[in-house]
Amino acid sequence: MARVEWDPSRQHPDDPDRDAGSAATPRRPGPLRVGVVLANTGTPERPDPDSVRNFLAEFLADPRIVDYPRWFWLPLLKQVILRRRPAESAQKYQRIWTEHGSPLRYLGDRLADRVERRLNDGAPGDNQDSGADRVRVVAAMRYGRPSIAAALTDLVAAGADRLIVLPLFPQTSGTTVDSIADAVATWQADTDPGAPLRFVRGYSREERYLDAVTESVQTHWSQHGRPDHLVISFHGIPRRYGSKGDTYEEQCRHTAQEVASRLGLSPQTWSISYQSKFGPEPWLGPSTLDTLTRLAEQRPDQVHVVCPGFAIDCLETVDEIGFEAAQHYRAAGGRGFDYVPALNDSEDAVELVARLIQQAL
């Protein structure tokens, strides 16, 4: 299967620092007082079966991800899934790997660097004292490296006396934000850092977030043309989680309706769907692939897919949507297909994350 060449710079040609590569931004002088962790799911160290196996072993052993009884699930994970799935998943990671490594890590680091500069230097028009306490912003992973615990420990060691953890998940779920909260609580119990910690839980109803997603779609359309239909795809979760109090589906529907409304779309020209199903039980639906099959039968000239639940492009967007879903759609008889990239480290993303942090200070 041919490798997909993916350029993470193509979405934001106006970024003056894009040519800086993956080098870390030099830390600014001044006392560090606030440490911020931008938390995401995680990524393998390398796109090879051994690295993917290590990542999946940690990820799929989390009871927030798979809540089956441990006596049943852990032997199945070790003896079956971790023997079969790593090689297949490694091929997918190889398709999205860049010269800087994983896009989730590379773009996550770039977002953290740019947000840190924004907070310390002040956005245009901000009235900030140049001698103000410094903020350090780092990206960390719930599974894999750098871990959330390691990032928090490093920030405290560097002198931070206030901490903020911001999971990069606009719509909250037990499978994402609550799992990150578990990791933070474990770190606090193990280290007793003394520094107060603020945990930012979801931002799907923030006007700046909804505007940013809308503007990213409009920008993409100005460059690639307006489609006949827009699919708004979110990561799925088991349907029964809603009966346990998870409001994720409601949040996804609100986001989709707000974005469609701001884009001026009629009900016939957009759909909401859910992707990345794992396991045999019913998940939220309709699935993104089923939605694309239905659209292919209608044969519109152009279909675009946007995934507003993903702050940073990763395997589930670049490969699952940009490559596999595109192949599925065309094999079903569809015509034009395009994926609208995530906000990543765009100016809108920097402004959004910086404001969320400012609100938590």
pLDDT value at residue 122 = 60
State how far the Cα of 184 lies from the Cα of 149, in Å rounded to an integer. Answer: 7
State how far the Cα of 270 lies from the Cα of 228, in Å rounded to an integer. Answer: 9
Residue 125 has pLDDT above 80, yes or no: no
The answer to whether 106 and 98 are in contact (CB under 8 A) is: yes
The answer to whether 37 and 138 are in contact (CB under 8 A) is: yes
Residue 127 has pLDDT above 70, yes or no: no
Of 76-90, 112-126, 247-261, 264-278, where does mean pLDDT reach its minimum? 112-126
**278-302 per-position pLDDT tens digit:** 989 999 999 999 999 999 999 889 9
Residue 233 has pLDDT above 90, yes or no: yes
**235-270 per-position pLDDT tens digit:** 999 999 988 889 999 999 999 999 999 999 999 999
pLDDT value at residue 244 = 87
3-state DSSP assignment of residue 166? strand
Kindly state the average pLDDT of the residues 353-357: 98
Lookup: tokens for 196: 């107060």
**132-160 per-position pLDDT tens digit:** 458 999 999 999 999 999 999 999 999 99
Residue ranges of alpha helices (H) inside the chain are 49-60, 70-76, 82-96, 103-121, 148-157, 177-191, 207-224, 248-262, 288-298, 326-331, 347-360
Domain extents in the chain: 207-340
State how far the Cα of 217 lies from the Cα of 210, in Å rounded to an integer. Answer: 11
CATH topology for 207-340? Rossmann fold (3.40.50)
Nearest to 170 by CA among 202, 212, 211, 210: 202
For the chain, the maximum distance between any two Cα atoms, rounded to a whole number of angstroms, is: 61
pLDDT band at 194 (very low <50, low <70, confident <90, very high): confident
Kindly state the average pLDDT of the residues 73-83: 97
pTM, to two decimals: 0.90
**14-40 per-position pLDDT tens digit:** 444 444 333 344 455 556 799 999 999
